[in-house]
Chains A and B, each alone.
Chain A
């Protein structure tokens, strides 16, 4: 066998009715390494992890841990084999203390006499060992998302896990908290724990991971040492082709000012934001989480009751009191969190595509079903959305395709001004590139786009100008020629 691995998954196959989810997947994890698992949505990462965690049972293939063949046929046997998973959705009980959560289901003492103090002490010992400054006696609901994640990790470790899987651990925490998470990861690897790290963010790979295995269409495409590979190579492995033009943007001379906001404030997070948007232009809004970017746009869009400041559309002052008003002036907003603010998850693609434009096909108790289908198809084609049919329930589409349906829904209102809030969050690289290309097409045709984004590369490459916000104020505006990551950070942290 040559080298002895901590974990070896060989030739794993797993099918669901009608789909081959995994075919002949191989993965090797060394002790003390952080091993990234990379792939587009639907590439089979989650399925592989579920096989490892005992949630799914693979039809073929072997799992070896420390040179021993193991049979994982359930969550308990996975745990006994030393495998622990920190899920993307955190599964702590909010109204219990940290200690109670860590020992949930295996409380100290007897069934009717739980020894709380002993539990709390043991939990505290664990927390301190990993230098997490968390009190074991606090209620989980009082913790930040990042702290909850730490508790999840400690909980996983407390099962004496030697193999730890982290599923997109940084998707909902701030940069500072990411630093802290990485420190914890380094402490763990020093103790010989092997970590499988799932993430979409390339920058994190370089910072924390040793090796990376790329998956595509249910197969493992290859494993690389992070230091010896490049971002381009990894992306090419993920999408199966070279992405020559990741960012498509033909800069042009923008036209007249089409939207202007002056001294916008919402009495809470937005204190003083002014900006100008010209025809045929993309402006970016950069800043840290909580800087008030989304809130500024919500105020413009009529979603904030006590909005202060003035908004001008094509030179005329307008009073937008509700999204209906905003649509009337040709403004559309694709919100930040698809699932909470955008999608009707139990409904199909058609319903989700046409809810803004019912007036085009429902009149006088008559529904023009053909028209409805045409509208839906038009935006499926325009956005290159991949869906088996218009009747597909939207929950079953991938994040990228959901986002495309969302953007299509708002394009159907034929807006002059399109506000995109984090348009590529949770979207795989292939779909990202497609969304950028569509944005480019739209502005070429004279639409104007405001893009709020926390991803620096996309802000820098796509925007004509970048407004930076900090603590509810616009602290600066950088033109495309001037903009750099450093300049944005200076303004964002001013």
Chain B
């Protein structure tokens, strides 16, 4: 990332943020009341890099920071001088200033195991941990990541070891799955399914009697037919064993959700200036408002600008055509074509941002210009941090 000419941040002449307030990133990072920053956005917009860059900047401005990422990007670990990231926060060497930067990557299975171990007696914990259904649920099934990310965030926050926690969110199929996860878990745990599955264990009890009235035999029969008796039995054993753990589990999911709504949390929606990503960003902003989650602002990564904004795409293309017709200055014509393309792209990105800004005029925005290469080291992260705050 070093040695490139276009490194210095530049204010464009046609500032696209005319309508929207500018996001004062340093104010967010410096505020001692800010304890959690959540970076969310669709896949491929640079969430993880943004989280790491903000972590470094906050640390260098004096805060004790941990960055929790769910993205197993080796390159990012390397850019922080760590060979790999795991479930334990590791100190990042080379961060300047008075603060500290630590980084970690979510290990879902390990996190899940820890919850079981903390909440079940040893015998029951063993039953759960060796159940084949648990094995899959904890390590392979994709939705578990959201629960565990939120659980880990809650743990970090409760430990009070950290002045500031910066987290990026899983690249979910529905990008706000991490918000829905705790509620869904609750719905599941309160649901009749669990009680029906538990029914054999409680046979003869009042609950089983009620369930029988609710058409239990029909349902049980159908489930056996569809799932197969053995599979159903595995699930039943698993659910029965988990029963003891569930209460605490659910309570904590609720706590984490409330934590996210608290004033100490700042949500950053991350996007790129393309139609899909901006559309997702709009959706995020609306969802966060609906859930009463505190939004700090929108980060738009990879914005294309031109060092020669006064020369429009149209004039540039016309001049190129003129030179080509005359058969003169081939090089200049080619450069003008290049510039016209760049201006056209900038204009398109500008339009996408305008759409967002007109729908959400009060959302503060921070823009980061496009870089030709990915971040490879702390210097690269530091530069992105500076651009985020400029």
A interacts with B: no
| Residues of A in contact with B (beta carbons under 8 Å apart) | none
